[in-house]
Amino acid sequence: MTRKLTVILKVTTVKHWRNSNSPLWQKTLFLNRHFAYIVIIVFAALFGSGLDLFFVKYGFYEFPFRPFPHLFSINIAFTLCVLPFITFLYLVLMKKMNRLERWIVILIISFLAPLGEIISEAWGLFIHSEKWSHYYSVIGYFLYLVFVSKIFFWLSEKTLRN
């Protein structure tokens, strides 16, 4: 003799009250909520890889220590792992700030980027040629961070409207 267990689920549907000022609750998919983050993180990985390939090809710098040196002339561990993670942290930070604070943080990061390059050169992870100037890094990181922020906030606003 087998027993049959029957489970009855009671689902209650609540209608929105017309006189309520609260907005309707809608389920949003993970992809919809995080679309801007995902797009910008993928962009950061691809753009960073492209820039590294360009600068290595034209001899501005090189990566003596990199994974799969026989396949890649750039450090793909940085451009595919570290850069997207740092970009994500940057976007989370930008989301919590007002406009003036964002500009201050962008300037601080831009001026600290050459310091990071100098430290990575001291550790042997990075070698610049004589034709490279660290001012290029300040300008490059500034433009990159402004562009990433503008696209991120534009995408965030666009997905909120839909």
pLDDT tens-digit series, residues 25-44: 555 565 567 788 899 999 98
Instruction: Convert the pLDDT of each residue in 98-138 to its tens digit.
Output: 999 999 999 999 999 989 888 988 888 888 888 888 888 89
Cα(23)–Cα(61) distance, integer angstroms: 54
Mean pLDDT of the chain: 82
Query: What pLDDT, on a 0 to 100 scale, did the predictor assign at position 87?
Result: 92
Cα(95)–Cα(97) distance, integer angstroms: 6
For the chain, first and last CA: distance in Å? 56
Average confidence (pLDDT) over 140-151: 92
Cα(140)–Cα(110) distance, integer angstroms: 8
Q: Please say if the pLDDT value at position 4 is more than 60.
A: no
Query: What pLDDT, on a 0 to 100 scale, did the predictor assign at position 101?
Result: 94
Instruction: Convert the pLDDT of each residue in 66-90 to its tens digit.
Output: 888 888 888 888 888 888 999 999 9
Are 49 and 76 within 8 A, CB to CB? yes
Query: What pLDDT, on a 0 to 100 scale, did the predictor assign at position 13?
Result: 58
